Structure formats: structure tokens, C-alpha cells
Structure 1
């Protein structure tokens, strides 16, 4: 998150306000995430979060994750429950339907943030990525959210082209356009060994929830992702996203297209 560089700012107060904004946006925050966002040591992040807890602006759960406290909620900054809490039942439903690692992610510009997840229990499984940011075009859920946009809006977001990373399957905008056409046809994005070797993921867009562009994704080891397995995962994923869209997305529709400014 961008920090205020105004010369009149009080650094500790500024950092605390950034943490409050992150708690409101994400609904949960670990010490590691807080330190990374602030650019400070984990010990400094821990002291700041502990201070927020002392004044009831945050609470620390048994999982050592911090969430908005009663004072923060009473201030009216979140009229609805945090997005991860609203999406959690659908994340759990997707996990129950697939028995694989599942994630909730949101899009911000050309990136996605992994906001919440449930890790599979099989001995060979994909680990959680909560708090990780990645280029949207390298993730299944990111592709699904980009496919919600008009092609011109996608081009505008990537006006400088795609990063020249070695081994990328999608190396230019023409390849990305073809990929997103397939996503619009199939209803879900596919990531096969693109963000991590040996990992396959399928993601589908829910649409705009609380003003944020949201997707769900399921990830599994590539060795277990045969054609039949992928089809079953896709069915469960699309069904869960339809349910979330029906319950949470406004009448303007989940797959609203427009300019990049419309959705982050």
C-alpha cells in the first residue's frame, strides 16, 4: 500500500492508519503481511498491531491473525462484514466440492492479491498463498477477472506490454487476448505450471463484491490434473461462483465490463 510522504505526517500514526485501512480492506492481517506492506521489521509491525488491539481497534485470534476490533467496527467504517467473511461460506463450499486447495483473490489493476484460502489435506497438495501478490495474467483467477473487461480495457491496463519474464507462456498482448477469449468461452481461467512449476489452477470470476473485483480458484498438483479431473473441478468452481454471484453481486451484474478504473 502506498505510504504518505507528506513532511507533516507523524510516522507512527501514519503506519497505524495504513494498518486500519488494510484491516478494513482485507478483513484479516498477519504480522508478516503488515510488515511487508509497511516496509518495516515484523517486530515493529507487531508493536503497532498490539497497540491497535490495546485500544480495541483490532483483535488477535488464536491463529495469530489480526481482524477488525469492536472500536473499528463501531466507527462505521465497515457497514457490511469484511469481504473475506462474506466470501468464506463460498470458499468452504468450493473446498468441500473439490477437496483441493482453494483461494479467494481480488484484482487491483494488473495484479491479484490472494486474500483468503483453505489448504487441501492430501499428502501431495498446493500450499496457501494468502497475502501474496502476482500479475493477474499469470493466475487462473486473474485471467478470469481480466476476461470480465472489454479487450480495450485489458490493453490499457497493459499499455507497456507484458513483463519479459523467461519461460512465460503468454509473452505478448496478442497471446493474452487469445487466452482471454478462451476464458470468456469456457467461463474459467486455466493456469498450468505458469505461476509455479507442477501446479495447475482453475479460477472463475464472481464479479464486483463491495466494489472489489473478486474471483475464486482451486489449485492442485499438475500430476493429478487430468482432463476428467479438471472438468469435475471446473463444474464445482462454476457452480460455487454462480451461487456467490447470485447472493452477493448487485443488479448491475457480475460480469460488468468497462474501463480499468471501473474495477481497480
Structure 2
């Protein structure tokens, strides 16, 4: 499909509706019309029409000049889960990994320059932000993101780098060439360990989850804190568990590990960074 065809088929009103829905967050749980207009850059009349439409559909409600989301919004995420067998298949594996490590286990997919949590078994809270299904974190500063980017097309890696490798802590890798070297290391060893790059003291190890064709479609992670483990301990004790668990999820999803399948995936983007 050409760019002109894409533009012709683009429904701007639908895009604006999602802009308004996504403007509701922890900082704006009950925004006014004016606050939503400022957050989205849309005019007040346009936001008002969108809110009235969403209200008639049952996704928002208004009271006293302020608006809030309704529980019906959660059904959108339920439809995603219902249409992705990976989430259901991974749950017992996440539980088992959390039991084996006594640490939180997560599953995430790549969405633009972020990773989005699509499965999680929390054991204890080790991050300042509250991580739940649907939470987003920068891909470049996380072990899950590095796993997903290590096997992503070259264009996607470039997009992440071009968007900026902002220092989130003193340990965050911000140099593009160093970042590309990190991705090469992940591909070579088959897993990623990131220490204190998203948050000080946060350690995580991730491994790729593959579909039937061998394509990496998700990343499995086990997370802990520097007060509970070291990078060396993570590498020696937890990384093998994470890799085996990721392989087990992949097998349940139809992937059969073989030299041919894996080498094909590796050659597809070999040398792209």
C-alpha cells in the first residue's frame, strides 16, 4: 500500500478518539475538558464531541465538569489477551519461574520504542513505578527491550537510537555504538542482563520467546534488586532458568528448536548493527 493510499484510508476521528483515551493516566485520572484539550493538542469542541461519543459507548463518564474512564476500557485489553495464545500459554511458566527464583517474572512485547508488559507474576515491588499488565518502559534501558531489539529488523533498532538514548541513571548506556555492541552480545549469548540502567539497583535478566517460525515475538524476564543479588549470581544461577523457561514457552507456542531454524533467524539480520 502506497503512502497516498495510507493517507486516504486514515480515519483521523478514530485517531483523535484514542488520543483522548490515552490522555487519562496517573497524573490525570479525572481531567477536565480543558485539561484533556491541553494534553492532546485538540480543540475543546473536538474533545467535547469525542467525550460525548465515548460516554455513549460506555468508555468514559462525566461528573462535575470532570471525566474518568469506566471499567469497560479494560475489555480492550481482554480482547488482546483472548486473541494472543502466548499470554495464556506463558502464565504457568511465569508462575513456575517466580517460584523457582522467588523474584518477579514478566513477559513483554515490543511496541515502537517501548516494551509493553503482557504477562507478569509480581513477588515483591522492586521498582519505584507500579508495574502491571500494559505498563510501558523504554526498550533501550531494559533487558527485555534489548532481547527484543537484538533480533529486531535493522530499521527498528535505528528508530530506537534516533529517538534518543536518554540517561535514566548514571549506568544507562547512551552511546549508540556501545548500545549496538550490547545488542550483539545479547545475540551471541542468547540472553540479556541489565543492571541499574532503568532504575538504580534494579537488576534483570531476559531471554527471547519465539513463535513457530523462530521469530522472536516476546521477552521473558526475571527481576530483582542489587541488595538481593549480583550480576554474577544472576548470570550463573538465574539466566539458565530464564532461558530454559523461555524455550519452554516457545515450545508450547509451536517452536521446535533446531540448528536450521535458529541459524535462519540469525542470518536474516546478521551484521545489521
TM-score by length of structure 1 reads: 0.64
Q: Once the 2 structures are TM-superposed, how far is the Cα of residue 51 of structure 1 from its aligned partner?
A: 3.2
Conserved in 1, the CA contact under 8 Å of 2:141 and 2:198? yes
Greater Rg, structure 1 or structure 2?
2
Aligned to 2:218: 214
Partner of 2:115: 112
Among 173, 183, 186, which residue is 2:186 paired with? Answer: 183
1:225-249 deviation line (CA, Å, top 9, x unaligned): 2223442111110010001111214
In structure 2, the residue matched to 1:141 is 144
Which has the larger share of helix?
Answer: 2
Q: Distance in 2 between matches of 1:49 and 1:163?
A: 42
Distance 1:244 1:35, change over 3 A: same
Secondary structure, counterpart of 1:223 in structure 2:
coil
Q: 2:105 aligns with which of 102, 105, 123?
A: 102
Shift of 1:154: 5.0
Q: Measure, in 1, the Cα distance between the counterparts of 2:24 and 2:89.
A: 26
Taking structure 1 as reference, are residues 43 and 115 closer, same or farther at Cα in structure 2, changes over 3 Å only? farther
1:240 aligns with 2:245: yes
Give the unaligned 5+ runs of structure 2: 1-9, 33-50, 60-69
Q: Give the aligned partner of residue 84 of structure 1.
A: 87
Q: What displacement does 1:119 show?
A: 1.4
Taking the aligned partners of 1:194 and 1:238, their CA distance within structure 2 comes to 21
Counterparts of 1:90 and 1:164, CA distance in 2? 33
Work out the CA distance in 2 between the residues paired with 1:91 and 1:68.
Answer: 23
Question: Does 1 or 2 have the higher relative contact order (CA < 8 Å, sep 6+)?
Answer: 1
Q: Residue 115 of structure 1 aligns to a residue in which SS?
A: strand
Q: Does 1:203 align with 2:206?
A: yes
Tell me how far 1:164 sits from its aligned partner: 3.9
What does the per-residue CA deviation read over 1:78-122, in whole Å, with 9 as the maximum and x for residues that have no partner? 87455432321221122122110111111013211122311115x
Q: How many residues align?
A: 220
In the alignment, structure 1 segments of 5+ residues that lack a partner are: 20-32, 53-58, 260-264
Q: Take 1:78 and 1:142, find their aligned partners in 2: how far apart are those partners?
A: 20
Whether contact under 8 Å (1:207, 1:253) holds in the other structure is: no
1:208 and 1:175 map into 2 onto residues whose CA distance is 29
Hey, what's the Cα distance between the residues in 1 that align with 2:31 and 2:89? 31
TM-score (norm 2): 0.62
Distance of 1:247 and 1:225 partners within structure 2: 30
Q: Select the residue among 22, 25, 32 that pairs with 1:36.
A: 25
Aligned counterpart, 1:51? 58
